[in-house]
Amino acid sequence: MAESILKVTESREVRVRMDLDADRIETVNLVVVPRDNDLVEIDLERHVLGFIERAGQVFVALAGERLDRAEECGQSLLWDHAAAELIRKARRNQEHEPAVRLK
């Protein structure tokens, strides 16, 4: 999955499954926007959550609307785990800044 996501040439929608707890799984639809060969922008409901950059075999989740100011919020060997970390980070931030509404 990760290889095909990083080789996109146009924006596309991707479903990410997230474990909420031992009994619940949530599916979130994200929009993946290519930036370069190893970097994609991750959007949710027309809001930029951040970026995922491939560094060797690791996917680095960078939270923030601007790449030059984005902060690392997680790393994973799996692309979808890095994407899920961006969603979790955005939800934690939403608790402090309710102006941005994420499901």
Q: Are 2 and 79 in contact (CB under 8 A)?
A: yes
pLDDT (0 to 100) of residue 22: 76
pLDDT (0 to 100) of residue 53: 97
Averaged pLDDT for residues 31-48 = 94
Token pair 């639809």 in the structure block, residue: 29
Cα(99)–Cα(22) distance, integer angstroms:
30
Cα(91)–Cα(25) distance, integer angstroms:
16
Averaged pLDDT for residues 21-39 = 90
Averaged pLDDT for residues 11-24 = 84
Q: What is the dihedral of CA 60, 36, 33, 87, to 10 degrees?
A: 10
- Which residue type sits at 96? H
pLDDT at 101 over 80: no
